[in-house]
């Protein structure tokens, strides 16, 4: 009535074959056949089905405004490495400073059921506020805060960094100092002039001349802003609100045969790797972008896994001054010219 296999199957409970219980041997055989079929058919499991069961996609969204800027490229690498160490993959999105593209990417990332989101913003803050309204995913903002958005924040201390850069120029004897910033629509640019003015023990320098120019956060923007300063106030020093603007300022100086740092010192902000290889090498303030971004990734993962359960956190990386070849003591001839203009 029953075949040999059926009879063996019905009576094999508890029977041991080659030291392996029959039921376990059967499961091992089935598993081997399934795995062989997967290899032969090149089958890819459904991540969507797996995520529905696990209630996690093990993916993180990363949104940056300009992938061509080395700062954001370094930041993306750090976030990716930090996530990979914890078993998470990263969806990388570049908005090209386009608010419409930014909104679309946010919608797509949310549709993908990402576990969390890292945002680096350099665009108009009000646009991001509207786009992030009602977001359910844990959120970490890197470097530049987005006003009116409740999220964990990991950033460099911009105020101390700007203060340190200005103090460095003043202590070198500069009095004709220009400051170039990004678009005025961004909070970091609106606050830059206030951060640029010295405080505390630097009150004796308050009679120096300053001028602020706002352009794009790019080498092109830095070139345009520095050109405007060179053709106007003729500064002996320039503080650029990021390294790419500082690199653009170096180009503007070279075109006008302005020697850096003999005729004009230039200092940047962020300490991207590229700033070490300009000529002259760019002095800058900031902190390791890689360390900053890995901290952002770790903060987000701790929020996702429940290790952080309190209210949103603000983690601030202390600044450092990196003095290279683009800043120097102001020559006596410049000091004399500045005094003559003041008379």
Q: Of the given ranges (24-33, 71-80, 173-182, 234-243), which has the lowest mean pLDDT?
A: 24-33
Q: Do 308 and 151 meet the contact criterion of CB atoms below 8 Å apart?
A: no
Residues 225-230 have a mean pLDDT of: 93
Would you state the structure tokens that stand for residue 272, as one six-digit string? Answer: 């991207």
Question: Is residue 180 helix, strand or coil?
Answer: strand
Residues 189-205 have a mean pLDDT of: 47
Residues 18-43 have a mean pLDDT of: 72
Q: What is the pLDDT of residue 321?
A: 92
Question: Is residue 35 helix, strand or coil?
Answer: helix
Q: What is the pLDDT of residue 127?
A: 64
Residues 41-67 have a mean pLDDT of: 69
Residue 198: pLDDT band (50, 70, 90) is very low
Sort 61 into a burial class: Cβ within 10 Å, 0-12 / 13-18 / 19+. buried
Distance CA 297, CA 80 (A): 8
Distance CA 48, CA 177 (A): 56
Residues 199-203 have a mean pLDDT of: 44
Domain boundaries, the chain: 50-157+290-318, 158-289+321-342
DSSP summary character for residue 226: H
What is the number of alpha carbons within 13 Å of residue 291 lying toward its C-beta? 11
Q: What is the pLDDT of residue 8?
A: 47
Is it true that 50-157+290-318 and 158-289+321-342 share their CATH fold? yes
What pairing do the DSSP bridges indicate for beta strands 16-17 and 20-21?
Answer: antiparallel
Domain 158-289+321-342 has CATH 1.20.200.10: no
Mean pLDDT score of the chain: 78
Residue 17: pLDDT band (50, 70, 90) is low
Q: How many CB atoms lie within 10 A of CB 175?
A: 21
Nearest CA-CA partner of 62 in 4, 123, 114, 122: 114
Q: What is the pLDDT of residue 333?
A: 61
Residue 256: C-alpha distances to residues 233, 239, 249 (Å)? 14, 18, 11
What is the number of alpha carbons within 13 Å of residue 208 lying toward its C-beta? 27
Distance CA 73, CA 69 (A): 6
Q: Position of tokens 């059921």?
A: 113
What backbone torsions phi and psi does residue 172 show, to the nearest 5 degrees?
-85, 0
Q: What is the pTM of this model?
A: 0.73
Residue 112, pLDDT above cutoff 60: yes
Domain 50-157+290-318 has CATH 3.40.50.720: no
Q: How many CB atoms lie within 10 A of CB 112?
A: 15
Residue 229, pLDDT above cutoff 70: yes
pLDDT tens by residue, 301-326:
999 988 887 788 888 887 789 999 99
Nearest CA-CA partner of 235 in 282, 192, 281, 267: 267
Distance CA 278, CA 8 (A): 78
Residues 51-69 have a mean pLDDT of: 77
Q: What is the pLDDT of residue 267?
A: 96
Q: Of the given ranges (8-22, 30-44, 133-147), which has the lowest mean pLDDT?
A: 8-22
pLDDT tens by residue, 322-343:
999 999 998 766 554 544 344 3
Would you state the structure tokens that stand for residue 97, as one six-digit string? Answer: 């400073």
């Amino acid at each position: 009535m029953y075949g040999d296999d059926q009879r063996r199957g019905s009576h094999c409970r508890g029977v041991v074959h080659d030291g392996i219980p029959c039921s376990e041997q059967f499961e091992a055989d089935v598993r081997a056949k399934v795995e062989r079929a997967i290899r032969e058919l090149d089958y890819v499991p459904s991540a969507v089905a797996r995520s529905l069961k696990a209630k996690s996609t093990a993916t993180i969204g990363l949104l940056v405004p300009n992938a061509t800027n080395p700062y954001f490229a370094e930041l993306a690498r750090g976030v990716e490495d930090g996530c990979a160490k914890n078993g998470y993959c990263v969806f990388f999105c570049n908005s090209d400073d386009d608010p419409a593209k930014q909104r679309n990417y946010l919608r797509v990332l949310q549709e993908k059921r990402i576990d969390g989101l890292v945002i680096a913003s350099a665009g108009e803050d009000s646009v991001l506020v509207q786009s992030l309204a009602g977001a359910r995913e844990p959120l970490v903002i890197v470097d530049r805060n987005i006003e009116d958005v409740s999220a964990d924040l990991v950033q460099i201390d911009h105020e101390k960094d700007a203060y340190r850069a200005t103090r460095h120029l003043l202590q070198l004897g500069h009095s004709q100092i220009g400051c170039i910033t990004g678009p005025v629509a961004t909070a970091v640019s609106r606050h830059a002039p206030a951060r640029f003015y010295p405080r505390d023990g630097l009150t004796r320098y308050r009679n120096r001349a300053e001028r602020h120019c706002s352009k794009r956060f790019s080498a092109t923007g830095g070139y345009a802003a520095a050109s405007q300063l060179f053709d106007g106030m003729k500064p002996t020093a320039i503080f650029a609100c990021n390294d790419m603007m500082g690199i653009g300022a170096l180009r503007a100086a070279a075109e006008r045969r302005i020697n850096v740092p003999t005729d004009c010192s230039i200092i940047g902000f962020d300490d991207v790797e590229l700033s070490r290889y300009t000529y002259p090498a760019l002095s800058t303030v900031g902190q390791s972008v890689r360390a900053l971004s890995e901290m952002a990734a770790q903060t987000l993962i701790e929020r996702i896994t429940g290790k952080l359960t309190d209210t949103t956190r603000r983690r601030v990386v202390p600044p450092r001054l990196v003095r290279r070849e683009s800043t120097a003591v102001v020559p006596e001839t410049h000091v004399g010219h500045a005094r003559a203009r003041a008379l």
